[in-house]
Structure 1
């Protein structure tokens, strides 16, 4: 298979892909029009990206069958167009969880001890111990987690090590799971906001989480509380956060911004970073060598599995439920033309196949085909299918 890697990628990952027998084209400078041209020129089977945006024209430029995001989120990929073109989209969830949790705590400590301001004044030749001797400290504070996925769960033991109490809300969190994690369950994000001294956001960007942290959320937060976002910028209403910093004294540590450049370097501006109570980093949550090595290993694993089995680990764009309403089960001899006969009968009846699998029994003499259909075959169609002498039985059942 031919693999185009269009972002910086660990050498171990490139070596692993080549060891699989892949032809690897590595060009981390590709962006926008140059990436479209590269896809047309090389026509790869697989595209690997980190932060590079994958747009509809890119997906339409060649014969891609798989796009791998060397990271967790896939909001930089036009998943809808990929799905329409039958292109798998996969990611590497959880591989950067420790790295992001570490940065989140770095931001928390920076806000509490005002570390960037300390450094700046030292570089300016100023000694100001009096001003910087008023940190609150973390022990005994309540950390509120918005999202308890892979990254959120990595926050829990780190908070515990600092002597913090943890409460959380997550779409999948139940009181029983919270008890097992030894954290406090809260029914809504607002419940977390109103009780926490420090809020840290760890949810994926979906239509449901867009601007999850809006004006009502920040109105619920305690005056002077800390707010950390290492997830996605669009999860937060930045206008509401601006209000909260100015009017409620909220202190914010942000790794993500709505105005981030598409490239790794470039001009940047955002009204939040001009406020003294806001510290920011350059969307580097996953950018540790440990995390990138783990992600590279997972990318190689995805490609290996795809090459060997046709299945894609961590695929994000398969239908959770198809329009299929009936299941046709055909037991048959494993002979040439048997399934073609079944599909011909279905085609003549104008019945669409949604999903199918054919399982071979030991000895490779017999098999069973499980075929999901959008409508019910008539008795006549079933008789036509059974007319093949290599078919033992054909039965249909509702799904």
Structure 2
């Protein structure tokens, strides 16, 4: 099995793959046409990416591709729908960079409150201005709003308590009881959170449902002088609304994921908020600890797939298929039994959505379960029961 690594990836994790007999093509920094050409040249079964975009055109070029592993949590840089249409698994490495992102989020909160970058810039320019920089609100006692309480959000909430900051949280699946168990206040809606917080840090995945979750109404609901930190994805925040609030002096903003960030690792950069906000270079997950943890998790996903065919952390299998009925076939464990059953199913026009075959101890008999979309009839069921070595067959509606 060939694995194409198109971005920076743990050397130890790569060694694990090689030791297991996999062929690893290490080509960090591949993107765009370079990635497309590499997929054509090497025709890998597995592709590992971090920040590189994976398009439908690339998937068409990689005829042997079976699995894409995102060395991180978000999969918004991968055309997941196109992968699903082509029968290609997509997996990620959730939670492995949570501490790193939480650390940067808190670093940005501190940087905004104490104006640390401005202090450094002035000192490097040969200017001493203690009077200008000696005033800061301080974080202790300020309420931190955590928008999204997944792995990263929970890490942030824990650090907030260490800083003496009460936490109010909102997440789509959060309940009042779960909030109480985590030691945070419960916000019924994002707007409720915005009204109650002195600072807000954003930790939701980028999906169509979360696009501009932080919109003009959210920004307007925030307290005057509040701080907003975004280390999730640019699409989650309406930066036009933020820019207006920053210009009016109502809001302080810091982001690790500015809209329109360059795809290249280095290059020119221009942004409407570059002079008034604190912008870092999408480095939230970029610590040695996080890189190693993500690499080891990606290697685990790949090795599990190579050894068992099972995809851990899969993000594109259907949660519920269109299957309408379950066919259970008890049969002797003999060659050709299932082929005969599937032949009858094809003749009946039933579309099998899921199937499994469980073998009993001793390998004398087995039980096949097939979920299908179709209209069962007695004649087809009778023909399935008549297949050589079939012991019985039943159908129930789902």
Aligned-partner Cα distance in 2 for 1:248–1:121: 21
- Long gaps (5+) in structure 2: none
Aligned-partner Cα distance in 2 for 1:320–1:133: 54
Alignment of 1:28 onto 2:34: no
Aligned-partner Cα distance in 2 for 1:264–1:311: 34
Q: Could you give the per-residue CA deviations for residues 265-308 of structure 1, whole angstroms, max 9, x where no partner exists?
A: 22221101122xx1010000000000010000001100111011
Aligned-partner Cα distance in 2 for 1:17–1:170: 37
Matched residue, 2:103: 102
Aligned-partner Cα distance in 2 for 1:68–1:180: 33
Please state whether the residue corresponding to 1:271 is helix, strand or coil: coil
Please state whether the residue corresponding to 1:173 is helix, strand or coil: coil
Shift of 1:228: 0.3
- Long gaps (5+) in structure 1: none
Q: Is the 8 A contact 1:52 1:263 kept in 2?
A: no
Aligned-partner Cα distance in 2 for 1:397–1:243: 59
Q: Could you give the per-residue CA deviations for residues 176-227 of structure 1, whole angstroms, max 9, x where no partner exists?
A: 0000001000100001111100000000011110010010000000111000
Aligned-partner Cα distance in 2 for 1:30–1:160: 41
Matched residue, 1:219: 220
Q: Could you give the per-residue CA deviations for residues 337-387 of structure 1, whole angstroms, max 9, x where no partner exists?
A: 010011000101111101111111111111111101101321000000000
Matches within 5 A, 1:182-331: 182-275=183-276, 278-331=277-330
Q: Is the 8 A contact 2:201 2:228 kept in 1?
A: yes
Aligned-partner Cα distance in 1 for 2:58–2:224: 46
Shift of 1:248: 4.2
Please state whether the residue corresponding to 1:376 is helix, strand or coil: coil
Shift of 1:389: 3.3
Aligned-partner Cα distance in 2 for 1:218–1:259: 21
Q: Could you give the per-residue CA deviations for residues 156-194 of structure 1, whole angstroms, max 9, x where no partner exists?
A: 110001101000110010000000001000100001111
Shift of 1:29: 3.1
Alignment of 1:58 onto 2:58: yes
Please state whether the residue corresponding to 2:284 is helix, strand or coil: coil
Matched residue, 1:163: 164
Q: How large is the Cα RMSD of the aligned pairs?
A: 0.8
Matched residue, 1:357: 356
Q: Is the 8 A contact 1:145 1:201 kept in 2?
A: yes
Matched residue, 2:82: 81
Matched residue, 2:153: 152
Aligned-partner Cα distance in 2 for 1:306–1:263: 31
Aligned-partner Cα distance in 1 for 2:198–2:184: 15
Q: Is the 8 A contact 2:67 2:88 kept in 1?
A: yes
Aligned-partner Cα distance in 1 for 2:118–2:165: 25
Matches within 5 A, 1:330-369: 330-369=329-368
Q: Could you give the per-residue CA deviations for residues 227-268 of structure 1, whole angstroms, max 9, x where no partner exists?
A: 000000000011111111112430111000111111212222
Aligned-partner Cα distance in 2 for 1:234–1:365: 56
Normalised TM-score (structure 2): 0.99
Aligned-partner Cα distance in 2 for 1:390–1:308: 31
Q: Is the 8 A contact 1:142 1:165 kept in 2?
A: yes
Q: Is the 8 A contact 1:72 1:91 kept in 2?
A: yes
Q: Is the 8 A contact 1:189 1:217 kept in 2?
A: yes
Q: Is the 8 A contact 2:243 2:273 kept in 1?
A: yes
Please state whether the residue corresponding to 1:359 is helix, strand or coil: strand
4+ residue runs over 2 A deviation: none
Aligned-partner Cα distance in 2 for 1:102–1:174: 26
Alignment of 1:121 onto 2:122: yes
Q: Is the 8 A contact 2:337 2:388 kept in 1?
A: no
Matched residue, 1:71: 72
Matched residue, 1:390: 389
Q: Which moved more, 1:151-160 or 1:259-268?
A: 259-268
Q: Is the 8 A contact 1:259 1:269 kept in 2?
A: no
Q: Is the 8 A contact 2:10 2:296 kept in 1?
A: no
